[in-house]
Structure 1
Amino acid sequence: METFLIRALQLILSLSLLVIVHEGGHFFFARLFKIRVEKFYIFFDPWFSLFKFKPKNSDTEYGIGWLPLGGYCKISGMIDESMDTEQMKKPAQPWEFRSKPAWQRLLVMIGGVMMNFILALIIYSMILFTWGDQYIALKDMTHGMKFNETAQNIGFRDGDILKSADGKELERFDMDMVRSIVEAREVTVLREGEEKKILMPELSLLDVAKEDPMFVDVFYPNVVDSVIAGGGFAKAGIQSGDSLLAVNETSIHSWNEFQDEMGKLQTQAELEKKETASFSLVYSRNGMRDTVEVQTNKQFKVEATGGLLDYKPTVLSYGFFESFPAGITLGVNTLNGYVSDMKYVFTKEGAKSVGGFGTIGSIFPKVWDWERFWSMTAFLSIILAFMNILPIPALDGGHVLFLLYEIIARRKPSDKFLEYAQMVGMFLLFGLLIWANFNDVLRFLF
């Protein structure tokens, strides 16, 4: 319950900030061009609001709604989610949105997206300024990587050190690295001191991301690092420094493979409704082999650690002004990666993977971590900016599309057309919202 509350609080805080900034972008340009803003709300307020106030001599009512699906900035003389068609039947007033030049209306509509993207760049910059950046470079991972069966069939081998994809250097182990490998035509690795070229077939990042074991992982040597007193390994006589060679007569060559075998044991024990599992373990100590029987605990752990690496991390620190170009680069790369992955949403498997608030909330850490919180908020801000600029009616991008048409054709779409477009767009968005959260429910139940 505590984990749920921590994640829920982070999600609400993050979304509130993003909504304020997004709607604040619309508000800023509207007021800049002397357009009247009737309402500025965090979250939606059908039937009633949690809080509202209207400053003296102000045209704007500020408030907090009860439905946390976003927020809105009701601008006079504009067909938006409020669907205030009665106002549109009256003669246009000079303070209304529809009375302003097309270029001003265009800036009002893209203001939210601009502010979200700028916010993400600022957050990324301040993350780098405050915490810096630390990672282990792939070239320094001297034990190389661990590859699953799919990758090995392509030509990768355990222990390969990843160097480049289509000539672009691979720097660190993250999702961008996996994306670069999957989308490459040729990957270069260092194998036993020699460079090898691996020709890549056509792969789907979505399929690769779902594979278990992972397509590529850090290679952890099959050496025990420490043993917890009273645990399965300790009772069996296993010591720090022992090399693991086989589990139930299945040879293993890395700690990764040992964990895979533990996963299989757990699955089998759960099918047989057993609380623990036992297995025979072949190990080597000072060149001498021996076999012992090991018992797991109720969490199917042997209470030991292994495969720890002494790689030297690359540590980067940034001064205040240095952090901004680095933050901009990080933000742009994040946007590029997200845009690149969007093509998978329109596949059958991609549609199943779409998630709602449960999925979004799960990306936040189980314990409060400010660095992680700000990183996730920046990422969500980029997603919000990109999704809103899509040319879908009811989104900012739909309004931008119609404004561009007006600028090029030199005539406005009719109010009736805009009303129907807004209704269709809202229907599509609510349908997507229902589908995404329905997927969350299915994941929770099954």
Structure 2
Amino acid sequence: MEILVMAGQLILGLSILVGLHELGHLLAAKAFGMRVEQYFIGFPPKVWSIRRGGTEYGLGAVPLGGFVKISGMIDESLDTEQMKAEPQPWEFRAKPAWQRLIVMLGGIIVNIITGIIIFVAITYKNGDTFLSVNDAKYGIVAHELAQQIGLRTGDKIVAINGKPFNNFNDVLSSDVLLGNNSTYTVNRAGEQVVVELPNDLVDKFSDKKSAPKFIEPIMPFEVGELMKGMSAEKSGMKPGDRILSVNNQPTQYFHEVQQIINANKGKAVAINVQRANQVKTLNVAVSPEGTIGFYPKSLLKLTTVNFTLGESLVRGTERAFSVIFDNIKGFGKIFRGEVSASKALSGPIGIAQNLFGGIWVWDRFWFVTGLLSMALAFMNALPIPALDGGHSVLLLYEMVSGRKPSDRFLEAAQRVGMVILLGLMAFAIFNDVFKAFY
């Protein structure tokens, strides 16, 4: 069922974004009097279509994409027959270069506008809920990856890159993970210690074995939701229980419970819980994976800040464009060899698994869709033949030099671009499958 939910979210999200992207091309082309022959969401074979105003609108059977076919334009269809005839007034090639450039940028512009609208709406609706540094007063849990760079459980991070901060989430922000020579300043038993982060730290986050194991706040907790049919529920554990000890070892924080349970995989443990004014002892079987089947409910105080519409416009726009800036930083790390491309790049399978997840949560769906909208705009702006950015570079050359590239050159560039894109797509899908099983 989780696979269906992940696939459904991915298909819906990409269909919305691709549909809007291609709509940007269509509207710009029609505004300049160009004939748009086809507008499709999805790739052939055709599932359904209808013709309106000289344009065929339809749905393709392969949902991860779409296209607009504009008369007189060499595109991914590589239909060059019409290019042999004299240019007609309604064709793409007959229009001024500046109009053709706007048509090519239409999809990117619409994706950017879509991403901004989504992030502004999310910011206005939900505000910002976070754990402040002052409320993360018990320090951090340093997992193996954190310990490797010099952090210790109980450290309190008081500055990032030498600057104080308020939001605990900032310790894992893109400025830290995608930046260079980042540092944490920690309070360790009253002493100030500077911990340097390696520039390839984000590469280790791409490893599925260590990605979730870095740092988290030390968390007092009570038992939250129980998993149906798991041993915690069978033992009589209830939401709201406070775990006092496991196998007579006192526990106050969630990571302490995790450590003891993980050390008793496949065994039974005695858990003392406080329920109202009573203390009960429960015998709970630990799974071979080291779980008993409950979600912790944090007792750390969270801070919520709400924003006016004007503030949401500013913050939402900043959040949207931060996706593009983060992509630029990420590509920079790949080119410098600090991040492995095989770990950093994901295809549709990786996006569905790592971003959407197996539970349909509308807030998360729209957040990921907004993120993908900005990422799609960035990727399409890359100067690769067959992408909007590649077409735009050639049009800018024409505008500056006054010389239009020949149709033969444009056809060759389109073929090369298609080979590059198909190769990247094949690499991303193979990489997703490899990471899922190895």
TM normalised by structure 1 equals: 0.81
* Aligned 8 A contact 1:25 1:112 in 2: yes
Distance 1:335 1:73 in 2: 25
Deviation at 1:252, TM superposition (A): 9.4
* Aligned 8 A contact 2:128 2:304 in 1: yes
The aligned counterpart of 1:370 is 362
Distance 1:324 1:91 in 2: 48
Deviation at 1:426, TM superposition (A): 0.8
The aligned counterpart of 1:26 is 25
The aligned counterpart of 1:301 is 291
The aligned counterpart of 2:375 is 383
Measured against aligned partners, the alpha-carbon deviations of 1:373-422 in whole angstroms (never above 9, x if no partner) come to: 11111011111111111111111111011112222222122111111111
Label 1:116 to 1:361 Cα distance change in 2 as closer, same or farther (>3 A): same
The alignment yields a C-alpha RMSD, in angstroms, of: 3.5
Label 1:300 to 1:437 Cα distance change in 2 as closer, same or farther (>3 A): same
User: Do structure 1's residue 418 and structure 2's residue 410 form an aligned pair?
Assistant: yes
SS at match of 1:82: coil
Of 31, 50, 55, 1:53 maps to: 50
SS at match of 2:195: strand
The aligned counterpart of 1:116 is 111
User: Do structure 1's residue 350 and structure 2's residue 306 form an aligned pair?
Assistant: no
Of 233, 241, 244, 1:242 maps to: 244
Deviation at 1:167, TM superposition (A): 3.7
Deviation at 1:71, TM superposition (A): 0.6
Deviation at 1:206, TM superposition (A): 1.4
Distance 1:261 1:321 in 2: 49
The aligned counterpart of 2:129 is 134
What pairs with 1:142-221 in structure 2 (closer than 5 Å)? Answer: 142-174=137-169, 177-182=172-177, 183=179, 184-192=181-189, 195-210=192-207, 211=210, 214-220=213-219
Measured against aligned partners, the alpha-carbon deviations of 1:267-299 in whole angstroms (never above 9, x if no partner) come to: xxxxxxxxx33579999xxxxxxxx99742576
The aligned counterpart of 2:267 is 277
Deviation at 1:345, TM superposition (A): 5.1
Deviation at 1:132, TM superposition (A): 2.4
SS at match of 2:134: helix
Deviation at 1:73, TM superposition (A): 0.9
* Aligned 8 A contact 1:116 1:384 in 2: yes
Structure 1: which amino acid aligns with 2:141? K
Structure 2: which amino acid aligns with 1:342? F
User: Do structure 1's residue 311 and structure 2's residue 310 form an aligned pair?
Assistant: no
- State the number of aligned residues: 418
User: Do structure 1's residue 361 and structure 2's residue 352 form an aligned pair?
Assistant: yes
Structure 1: which amino acid aligns with 2:286? T
Label 1:169 to 1:19 Cα distance change in 2 as closer, same or farther (>3 A): farther
The aligned counterpart of 2:276 is none
Label 1:385 to 1:265 Cα distance change in 2 as closer, same or farther (>3 A): farther
User: Do structure 1's residue 337 and structure 2's residue 326 form an aligned pair?
Assistant: yes
Distance 1:149 1:364 in 2: 27
SS at match of 1:322: helix
Structure 2: gaps spanning 5 or more residues: 274-281
Label 1:89 to 1:360 Cα distance change in 2 as closer, same or farther (>3 A): same
Label 1:171 to 1:333 Cα distance change in 2 as closer, same or farther (>3 A): farther
Structure 1: which amino acid aligns with 2:88? Q
Deviation at 1:353, TM superposition (A): 5.0
Of 379, 396, 401, 1:404 maps to: 396
The aligned counterpart of 1:102 is 97
Label 1:407 to 1:176 Cα distance change in 2 as closer, same or farther (>3 A): farther
Deviation at 1:64, TM superposition (A): 0.9
Structure 1: which amino acid aligns with 2:120? S
Deviation at 1:263, TM superposition (A): 4.3
Structure 2: which amino acid aligns with 1:401? V
* Aligned 8 A contact 1:224 1:305 in 2: no
Deviation at 1:257, TM superposition (A): 5.3
The aligned counterpart of 1:328 is 317
The aligned counterpart of 1:286 is none
* Aligned 8 A contact 1:277 1:300 in 2: no
SS at match of 1:323: helix
* Aligned 8 A contact 1:233 1:302 in 2: no
User: Do structure 1's residue 435 and structure 2's residue 427 form an aligned pair?
Assistant: yes
Measured against aligned partners, the alpha-carbon deviations of 1:232-277 in whole angstroms (never above 9, x if no partner) come to: 99799xx945356998xxx9996425425644654xxxxxxxxx33
Structure 1: gaps spanning 5 or more residues: 267-275, 284-291
Structure 1: which amino acid aligns with 2:371? F
SS at match of 1:139: coil
The aligned counterpart of 1:256 is 255
Structure 1: which amino acid aligns with 2:137? T
SS at match of 1:77: coil
Distance 1:254 1:397 in 2: 51
Distance 2:271 2:160 in 1: 39
The aligned counterpart of 2:277 is none
Structure 2: which amino acid aligns with 1:406? E
Label 1:300 to 1:428 Cα distance change in 2 as closer, same or farther (>3 A): same
SS at match of 1:390: coil
Label 1:192 to 1:29 Cα distance change in 2 as closer, same or farther (>3 A): same
* Aligned 8 A contact 1:232 1:296 in 2: no
* Aligned 8 A contact 2:35 2:70 in 1: yes
Distance 1:125 1:246 in 2: 50
Distance 1:213 1:62 in 2: 44
Label 1:20 to 1:413 Cα distance change in 2 as closer, same or farther (>3 A): same
* Aligned 8 A contact 1:245 1:252 in 2: no
Deviation at 1:78, TM superposition (A): 1.0
Distance 1:42 1:304 in 2: 42
The aligned counterpart of 2:279 is none
* Aligned 8 A contact 1:144 1:158 in 2: yes
Distance 2:295 2:43 in 1: 50
Structure 1: which amino acid aligns with 2:312? S
* Aligned 8 A contact 1:209 1:215 in 2: no
